[in-house]
Structure 1
């Protein structure tokens, strides 16, 4: 009876794995650098797709935890002056725009750094678009102003969304995601701030 039970359990596991594979997206090959658009802000960023990192990472500064409805949240800013990839109509300078965001904290991670103290990072869920397709994944928040790319996409995203990487090429995506110009983004952000202020009054 024990052997029969083990065989049954094994068969059920194989069936579940097969069903999961059926539900998975068909594989898509992208370059090691692609355009990423944050869904809630329409902010376009260059993202490096890195198989050496498990969790994705997003450039953010002034990262502050706070409590909301008894749960842990984090507020943070994305200064566009650090990475000037957002298309502009020439009316504004990237240095003029700082996006302010809030997200619930999914978890925290402790990053060990060679020759430097360990760093605590907050991890949040973010919606984004790449290659014309919407995705959601975890991003750790950290200051990436000294790096070439403000966003990094790691293995968790690649595994969950069946993404393959061509390490010899970049910007291979055949479809684009919708994004705003710097001026459109600034106007939308200003309107959101006014709405939030009115709601708090």
Structure 2
């Protein structure tokens, strides 16, 4: 159990923030901070499995800007795992899992991300409980506390 001192030290973020994924070449992506979701998910498509020097990896594309299919980032990462994840509709999907660095303001930390097509969803990225654990407290009534509220 966390002490009161630990709780007060953690910075507060809003229910949506702009994040960076520097290892994936994404400088800015709007994410929903979702404490109801265990894992984090990134909108990815054209996911291709391959091996690099004997290491299972994935190559994929991302549209980091909401409602803009003209901007595409192409990324590669070692494949950490493949897991069954229950989507927002209650269906279970097998998703590739990668580990990457995430940035918010000046803070950087490693998270696991599942890759899935989120085209129909309101956010290109969902940052779940595991991704913010021991990093932040979430103020569900506020947005963009660490980043510009300008929509992309």
TM over 0.5: yes
Aligned-pair distance for 1:37? 1.5
Whether 1:39 aligns to 2:11 is no
Bigger Rg, structure 1 or 2:
1
Whether 1:152 aligns to 2:126 is yes
Where do residues 1-201 of structure 1 align in structure 2 (5 Å cutoff)?
26-40=9-23, 41-80=25-64, 83-84=66-67, 94-112=68-86, 114=89, 116=91, 118-161=92-135, 163-173=136-146
Unpaired runs of 5+ residues, structure 1, are: 1-16, 85-93, 177-181, 183-201
State how far apart, in whole Å, the 1-side matches of 2:137 and 2:117 are.
Answer: 27
TM-score, normalised by the number of residues in structure 2: 0.81
Q: Higher relative contact order at CA 8 Å, sep ≥6: structure 1 or structure 2?
A: 2
Aligned length: 143
Unpaired runs of 5+ residues, structure 2, are: none
State how far apart, in whole Å, the 2-side matches of 1:131 and 1:165 are.
Answer: 15
Q: Which is richer in helix?
A: 1
Moved over 3 A (4+): 112-116
Report the secondary structure of 1:96's partner residue: coil
Aligned-pair distance for 1:160? 4.1
Q: CA RMSD in A?
A: 2.7
Q: Which is richer in strand?
A: 2
- Greater mean alpha carbon deviation, residues 57-66 or residues 95-104: 95-104
